[in-house]
Amino acid sequence: MAQTILHKAETRGHANHGWLNSYHSFSFSSYYNPERMGFGALRVLNDDTVDAGMGFGKHPHDNMEIISIPLEGDLEHKDSMNNVAVIKNGDIQAMSAGTGIYHSEYNKDREQRVKFLQIWVYPDKKNVEPRYDQITLNLEDRHNKLQQILSPNADDEGVWIHQNAWFHLGKFDKGISTEYAIKGKGNGVYVFVLSGDVKVNDQLLNTRDGYGIWDTDKFTITADTDAEFLLMEVPMEI
């Protein structure tokens, strides 16, 4: 019997710092909810909006797999490995913080805000060599089908991380349905709706709702309206 958990969008933590408006699906920074400490190896799902010309100054990370998915606008990334890059809608960025890195993220545009998802996954091994990766995805590859954007394998589609995790994006027209088969034994999937309404099996989800499902081999996801969504498959045991 599948286990599930529903996190309605309005139950997320919220922090408005003026330049940064952030919704936290799980405990983060000043938002602490012992019932929201993550979903398996998925520890952070922040839904961030950064004002024009603003951003996160230089700050450190270690021992975390950090994935950024821009939804709107451009974000400039600089890090202590001398990477300088701009990520934009359609890109995905993955960073293994490992033994330690510094980075900054700025919205260099003077007029347009940036919206992006910041996702942290616990690594399956500590103290790895820090690494950075960024790719541009083909948006058509998610229209009415699931597009793999992340995996544990360097030679597979999308970026890769140090964890037995797979992420997929879908942009489905109303009525389109597909089955998702869980790839890793002991894994679960956290569904996050980017826009529109979807059903996971019989559970209706609206924009920005999150829904975890585990102890099952597969589930069906159906677009109740035109909809975009992110599936994050992660180990349930860290």
Partner 1 sequence: MKTQILAIGRHAEILQTVVRLVNNSPEWNATGAGTDDEAILAFSTQTYKLVLLGGGIEKESEDRLCAAFRALNPDIIIIQHYGGGSGLLAAEIYEALG
Binding site for partner 1 (CB under 8 A): 27-30, 32, 34, 37, 43-44, 59-64, 97-100, 102, 120, 122, 126-127
222, HSE (Cβ side, Cα atoms, 13 Å): 8
Nearer to partner 1, 19 or 102 (CB): 102
Nearer to partner 1, 12 or 61 (CB): 61
CB of 102 to partner 1, least distance (A): 7
Nearer to partner 1, 176 or 238 (CB): 238
CB of 44 to partner 1, least distance (A): 7
Amino acid at 179: E
CB of 127 to partner 1, least distance (A): 6
CB of 8 to partner 1, least distance (A): 21
Find all residues with CB under 8 Å of 140, minimum gap 6, and list them.
none
And the tokens for 124?
């399956």
CA distance 173 to 177: 9
CB of 51 to partner 1, least distance (A): 19
Nearer to partner 1, 126 or 218 (CB): 126
Nearer to partner 1, 27 or 112 (CB): 27
And the tokens for 12?
């997320």
CA distances from 28 to 56, 106, 182 (A): 15, 20, 27
CB of 129 to partner 1, least distance (A): 11
- Cβ atoms of residues 41 and 234 within 8 Å: yes
150, HSE (Cβ side, Cα atoms, 13 Å): 29
Nearer to partner 1, 90 or 100 (CB): 100
And the tokens for 122?
């616990």
Enter the DSSP assignment of 26: S
CA distance 59 to 77: 12
Direct distance between the N- and C-terminal alpha carbons of the chain, in angstroms, rounded to an integer: 22
CA distance 86 to 84: 7
